[in-house]
């Protein structure tokens, strides 16, 4: 059995996803919101997507990485700035 840490709430849980079961329904909802937003508006910047969708920049970041979306230009800066701080 593998113990994972939830990417949303930070709780430890047993499972294969990066999200615990408590967060999964909310995460699925936000992910579909994210998808329909970028389908309609394109992938602008993380801050814009977060503001427009109400999803936290941290989760927008995760969705973008999950989808393998490439941001260009100043969007990359935004990605770095909203990244997780280590230590």
Q: Residue numbers of the site for Zn ion (CB under 5 A)?
A: 6, 8-9, 20, 23
In the complex, least distance from residue 56 CB atom to Zn ion, rounded to whole angstroms: 13
24's tokens: 């999964």
> Whose Cβ is closer to Zn ion: residue 26's or residue 36's?
26
> Whose Cβ is closer to Zn ion: residue 17's or residue 41's?
17
**Residue 37: strand, helix, or coil:** helix
Residue 39: exposed, middle, or buried by beta-carbon count in 10 A (0-12, 13-18, 19+)? exposed
> Whose Cβ is closer to Zn ion: residue 8's or residue 62's?
8
């Amino acid at each position: 059995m593998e113990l994972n840490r939830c990417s949303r709430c930070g709780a430890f849980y047993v499972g294969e996803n990066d999200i615990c079961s408590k967060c999964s329904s909310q995460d699925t909802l936000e992910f579909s919101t994210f998808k329909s937003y970028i389908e309609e508006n394109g992938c602008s910047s993380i801050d814009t997507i977060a503001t427009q969708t109400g999803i936290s920049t941290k989760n927008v970041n995760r969705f973008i990485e999950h989808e393998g979306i490439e941001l260009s230009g100043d969007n990359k800066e935004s990605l770095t700035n909203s990244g997780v701080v280590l230590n």
